[in-house]
Amino acid sequence: MDLCQLIFPVSYPGMKDCKSVLLIGSPGTCKTSLLLQMASSLSHQSCKTLNSDDCTIMFICNYQLTKIPLHVHRMPQFDAISAKNISIQYLKTFGDLISHLANLFIHVGKLTGIIIDGIDNFLKTIDEKVDGNYKDCLAKLFALLVDLGGHYSDCQDGFVGGDPCPIVASFDSNDEDINEKVLISSIGNHFFEQVAKIEPCTILGTRLGFKMTDSSDHCIYYYIDEGQIYLDRISKIKLIY
């Protein structure tokens, strides 16, 4: 499964057969829209592949979705199929999130994707007397997510053409707190197959857009136009010595 192809209308070798991605970026870089597009695309793709109406993509956040985020041009729309197969879970605290994820090991049915938007919101609620210190909580969360991905990938082995259960999460970074961003990225690299950092940039010299740089230094450029997200290009950073 090419996770990039679930967001943008293009195949990308860096995310081919990738099972887990962590997106780190400042507010306003369209992370929620990209994740919901992934959930919608995964809903269409997984249910078609598994030939079943009983597939669920778990979308977890700690805020109420008051409107549909931006759609990615030429990708599946958020429609009746998406609404039926995407289970949006609103949780409040880090403890709630860990309990919910632990309970998913006994979830009945086919869980074909787990997406968490804004893990930073959950980390802000950590009670060190109950949950432990920040770094340990982060490692516990990431390890639990990886275990869940493996668990539900194994559960799908009996289905013809079944794909792994992808794990995707986003972190809203504060550009002023460099130490936290480094910590998230460092621990994330131990658990996620790709850690992608998103930042604003200028596209073609004039257009304001965004650059997503993955662990292999590939860059995916995209921008917003007329209420949609458009892919601009994908490139490889050339190192100059």
Class of domain 19-202: alpha beta
Q: Is the pLDDT of residue 157 over 60?
A: no
Name the CA dihedral angle for 66, 71, 76, 78, rounded to a multiple of 10 degrees. Answer: 10
Check: CB of residue 49 under 8 Å from CB of residue 57.
Answer: no
Percent of the chain with pLDDT over 90: 66
Tens of pLDDT, residues 84-138? 899 999 999 999 999 999 999 987 677 899 999 999 999 999 999 999 999 999 9
**Tens digit of pLDDT for each residue in 9-33?**
998 888 888 999 999 999 999 999 9
What single-letter DSSP state applies at residue 16?
B
Report CA 15 to chain centroid distance, whole Å: 12
Q: H or E stretch including 153?
A: helix 134-155
For residue 49 the two structure tokens come to 């592949």
194 vs 216: CA distance, rounded Å: 8
The full set of domain ranges for the chain reads 19-202
- Whose structure tokens read 């997984």? 46
Structure tokens at 168: 């995707």
Q: Express as a percent the part of the chain with pLDDT over 70.
A: 90
Which of the residue ranges 40-49, 64-73, 141-150 has the most confident prediction, judged by mean pLDDT?
A: 141-150
pLDDT at 13: 81
| Residue 167 contacts residue 146 (beta carbons within 8 Å) | yes
For residues 130 and 123, the answer to whether their CB atoms sit within 8 Å is: no
The whole-number pLDDT of residue 192 equals 97
Contact criterion met (CB below 8 Å) for 44 and 81? yes
d(CA 90, CA 109): 20
